Structure formats: structure tokens, C-alpha cells
Amino acid sequence: QARVFEGGPATRVQTYSASLLKGPTSTLRALPDNYLGPILNLQQGQKVRIFFNNRLQEPSIIHWHGLHVPQHSDGHPMYSIQPGEQYVYEFEVLNRAGTSLYHSHAHDLTAEQVYRGLAGLIVVNDADEAKLDLPRGEFDLPLVIQDRRFDQHNQLQYLHAMPERMMGFLGDMILVNGKPQAEFNVKSRAYRFRAVNGSNSRIYKLGWDDGTPLTAIGTDAGLLAQPETRPYIMLAPGERVDLWLDFSGRAVGSRLTLYSLPYSGALPGMHGGMGMMHGKLAQGAKFPIAVFKVNERVADSPKLPKTLVPFQRLSEADVDNRDNPIPIALSIRHMRPLLNGLSFSMDRVMDYERVALGSIKKIRIFHDHDGSEGEHGGGMGMGRMGGMRRGGRSHDGEEPGGQGMGGMMMDMAHPIHLHGQQYQILSRNGANTKAADYATVKDGFIDSGWKDTVLVMPGEEVSIIKPFQDYKGLFLYHCHNLEHEDLGMMRQYYIG
């Protein structure tokens, strides 16, 4: 990495530029009148150099969420730069075609910086995708969903109060591509909408309210092997889903409203739901996201392909730790969300799990109610650095069992994101969920594609298979509820 001092006025404008070392021409497009950053259009195999100039008045660093890049270009908070400094990223695009995002990753500042606009889309294209007859150009559109609050002067409002920190910040106004009351004028044909949950903590249940199912052609990191249809699709912070929305045959003048449909159980159920305690729009409430107005009748439309881009499905036969999965234990104790019983600290950047370069591991993500996992965590292939436990235990819960506020009552949904290479979802176990709540979300998961963020509902257990190839180094994993991330629900693994 290079750190070069760059003077100049301190404004809150962010500058990104990409210069091409080789490969086809990339185009940078910006969404009009938008507080989000420009869309980075990348091509698989392209070598990219990005100059990040920090013109904020506080430290920052950018992470390319979803891209598989070397440690020095991954935006670890230890690389945060000061106001006026520049950080130069260099990497080759190894990803398959798909939708990713970039955002601030400065520790303890991520949530507010993202909230105030330090985020944008990354679109990767590749040769496999080019062979498919998918909607392109004006028919391939972003659908970045965010919730915000505005004060009486119509300015973005962010709160650091305790319910917001603990549960995650919830806005009461829904923005799509940076605008409220989003409306898309569409032709009567198929579209590809790249839905991205760019919210700090809100989880969407995407669906039409007349029960028409939704079709997905891609998840977090790329196209699916074949399209998947669901009655609704859950989209947690950091997750992406490429939707195939087909308006063929619709009359001019028809209006279709995409909603977030009601669901329950994502937040702890104290006193009728903690969700009600902060903000006017509860987590799990029903509200409209965007309206699609058919304004022109056209004859031609691409047809939904039966096959998209097939890839190898990983199974337990591919891992070397089948009976000893790496644990990621989720818990909340003393009002602090923890991973494996510990809280991330920049003073302990050298705490990490060790994973062998080139290995493929099974990882088990589960809610930890007895606090035991922090004690004997560390499955096969993982070592822990000395000093970690001392540091973590000192303020993160010594008491036996560690239940108290941290037990069942505080069980909540966590979108778990792992940096580096994408993973596949092996299984989901909802046996310990509250059945009535789980029934409102369980048909909305698309687990067949490559993922980098997975929503784990209260009581739920998710097993994933993740390859650790190509790059040695230190990479993060964390809850993508950005308030949880800032509170330290983050750890890291060292590949080497």
C-alpha cells in the first residue's frame, strides 16, 4: 500500500478514480442527483488502481465488499488514513459477474460514514455473463435500498443513542438509489434490478403484495446456476440479489409496488418488541419500497434463461474439517454484541483465527447462549494468538454462563459477512427458532449461490463452506448490522 500526503480543502466530497492498467474499457457511471458514490464498472481479469483521497475531517478507509482482493487492498481499519491523506488500492478483479458494493470500514466510524453516503455499487461483468441474453443497458438498473431519518431541517439524522447502537439504527424513510418514494418508468419487458441492501441494520422482505413470486438470477457474488423463484426474498444489510422483474404483457399505465412485507422476530421480543422503541418504522413492518409504472408497450423482451452460469457446488466432501467446523458464535452480553465471546479492538489487531492458505473449511454460525464457545472455540486448523482471551475477557463477560441480558432475550438477527473469497451455504437449521416468527421469513432465503453475507435469524444455525485461496493475510469477518460492527462484533482470520 502507498500512503501519500495530499493537501487541499477538507470538504465532505469523496473522490474516486480508476485507471486502467490492462483489459477492456471500464466506464464509471454515477447515479444522477445521488449521495452515493459512482458505480464502479469492472471486468473480470481487469487490473484496477483506485486512489482514495480522504477529504473528510476524520479517518476513513474504503472496503470493496464482495471483491476478493489482497489484504492491503481490502480496507482493513488498520489502514485507515487521516484527513488529507491518500490510499492507493491495486488489485486484479478475480470475481465472477455480479453486484458488489464499497463502503467505509473505519473502525467505530463505519456506521455513520456509510449512513452519510460513503458507499457505492460495484458491477463486475465477465465472459460467461456476456453469453447470456440478460437485460442490459437501460434495462439493467440498480436498486439500492436504504432507510434514513431526516430532522426538521431536512438533514440526515444519525443517533448514537443506546437503542440505536444496540439494535442497529433504523430510519423511517425508505430511499431507493438515494431518493424517497422511488418510481421507475418501465417498458413492458424484462428488467434486471440489482437490489442491494445498503442500510445500516434494516432487513427487507422483498415481495409484491398480491403474492406474485419474485425471481432471482443472482445473489451476493454473482449469477446463480439457474433462476430461483420465491414468494418473497429476505435481504439483510450487505446482501445483494439480482432480480428478474418481467413487466411483459402489462398494460400501459399499470403500477406495481414492490414492498417490504411484514415479518417478525428479528429483534428481541422484550416489552412488545425492542423494534418499537426506536424509530417510527419498526423492523419487520410493511412498507412500500418502489413503484414500477409501465409507460410503454414493447413487443420484444429477453426470456428468462433456464440456465445461467453453472458452478461447482461445494459439499462436506470438499472440506478437511467436516466434524470440527470453525465456530462463529453470536452473542450479546452486557449490551455488547460479540463473536466467539469477544469484542474487536484496534489494540488487539493481532487477535485472529488461523486458516491454511488453499484450504476449504466448514464454518458453523450459531447463537451462543452459554458463553462456552469463547472458551474452547477454535476448531481444527485454527490457532489463537496468545493474549487474545485475556484482552477479550477483561470487560466482555467473566460471569459463568454469561446469560443475564445476554441470553435468549437478546437473541437477534445478525447478517454475518466474511471478507475474502465467497462461500456457499451448506445448511440452515431452524429447529431452535420460534416457529411462528421463523415462518414469516424462512421461504425467503436464496442459499444456492455464492454468498459473502448470510442472514442468521434468532435461534437459527447456518453452516457454510468457504475456500481460503489466492491471498495470504489478515481478513475480517463481522456482523453487517453496521452498529454491531462498530461495537466490535467483528473478528479476523489470518490466511497463511
Q: What is the binding site for ligand C2O (CB under 6 A)? A: 63, 65, 103, 105, 238, 417, 419, 476, 478, 480
Shortest Cβ 239–ligand C2O spacing (Å): 10
103 versus 451: smaller Cβ distance to ligand C2O: 103
> Which does residue 105 touch among Cu ion, ligand C2O, none (CB within 5 to 8 A, set by kind)?
ligand C2O
217 versus 236: smaller Cβ distance to ligand C2O: 236
Among 189, 333, 369, 419, binds Cu ion (CB under 5 A): 419
> Which does residue 414 touch among Cu ion, ligand C2O, none (CB within 5 to 8 A, set by kind)?
Cu ion
Shortest Cβ 119–ligand C2O spacing (Å): 9
Residue whose C-beta lies closest to Cu ion:
479
Residue 249 CA to residue 187 CA, distance in Å, equals 10
Residue 245 CA to residue 224 CA, distance in Å, equals 16
Residue 40 CA to residue 101 CA, distance in Å, equals 9
> How deeply is 303 buried, as exposed, middle or buried, from its count of CB atoms within 10 A (0-12, 13-18, 19+)?
exposed
Shortest Cβ 416–ligand C2O spacing (Å): 11
Shortest Cβ 238–ligand C2O spacing (Å): 5
Residue 68 CA to residue 80 CA, distance in Å, equals 19
Residue 234 CA to residue 219 CA, distance in Å, equals 11
> Which does residue 481 touch among ligand C2O, Cu ion, none (CB within 5 to 8 A, set by kind)?
Cu ion
345 versus 432: smaller Cβ distance to ligand C2O: 345
103 versus 192: smaller Cβ distance to ligand C2O: 103
232 to 271: interface string for Cu ion, x by CB under 5 A: ----------------------------------------
> Which does residue 478 touch among ligand C2O, Cu ion, none (CB within 5 to 8 A, set by kind)?
ligand C2O
Do 235 and 195 touch, CB atoms closer than 8 A?
Answer: yes
Shortest Cβ 226–ligand C2O spacing (Å): 27
120 versus 265: smaller Cβ distance to ligand C2O: 120
> Which does residue 479 touch among Cu ion, ligand C2O, none (CB within 5 to 8 A, set by kind)?
Cu ion
**Nearest CA-CA partner of 60 in 18, 109, 9, 15:** 109
Residue 444 CA to residue 455 CA, distance in Å, equals 11
List, in sequence order, the alpha helices (H) in 88-211: 110-115, 127-130, 162-167
H or E, element range at 376: helix 373-376
> How deeply is 495 buried, as exposed, middle or buried, from its count of CB atoms within 10 A (0-12, 13-18, 19+)?
buried
Residue whose C-beta lies closest to ligand C2O:
65
The Cα-based distances of 428 to 83, 336, 410, 423, 425 in angstroms read: 44, 25, 21, 14, 8
339 binds Cu ion (CB under 5 A): no
192 binds Cu ion (CB under 5 A): no
Cell 454469561 appears where?
402
170 versus 214: smaller Cβ distance to Cu ion: 170
Among 125, 283, 424, 481, binds Cu ion (CB under 5 A): 481
110 versus 283: smaller Cβ distance to ligand C2O: 110
**Nearest CA-CA partner of 401 in 374, 364, 378:** 374
294 versus 489: smaller Cβ distance to ligand C2O: 489
Secondary structure E strands in 325-435: 326-333, 336-339, 353-355, 360-367, 414-418, 424-429
Residue 241 CA to residue 221 CA, distance in Å, equals 9
Residue 171 CA to residue 47 CA, distance in Å, equals 38
Polymer length in residues for the chain = 496
Give the interface segment with Cu ion, choosing from 27-35, 210-218, 407-415, 462-470 (CB under 5 A).
407-415
367 versus 419: smaller Cβ distance to Cu ion: 419
Shortest Cβ 484–Cu ion spacing (Å): 3
63 versus 367: smaller Cβ distance to ligand C2O: 63
Give the interface segment with Cu ion, choosing from 248-256, 305-313, 393-401, 483-491 (CB under 5 A).
483-491
Do 298 and 187 touch, CB atoms closer than 8 A?
Answer: yes
Radius of gyration, CA atoms only, the chain: 22
**Residues 47-106 contacting Cu ion, CB under 5 A:** 65
Do 75 and 105 touch, CB atoms closer than 8 A?
Answer: yes
Give the interface segment with Cu ion, choosing from 194-202, 223-231, 254-262, 417-425 (CB under 5 A).
417-425
Amino acid present at 195? A
Shortest Cβ 485–ligand C2O spacing (Å): 7
Shortest Cβ 220–Cu ion spacing (Å): 10
> Which does residue 71 touch among Cu ion, ligand C2O, none (CB within 5 to 8 A, set by kind)?
none
Shortest Cβ 228–ligand C2O spacing (Å): 23
**In sequence order, what DSSP letters do the residues of 56-101 get, joined into one string?**
SSS-B-EEEET----GGGTT-GGG-B-TTEEEEEEEE--PPSEEEE
Amino acid present at 488? G
Interface positions with Cu ion (CB under 5 A): 65, 414, 419, 479, 481, 484
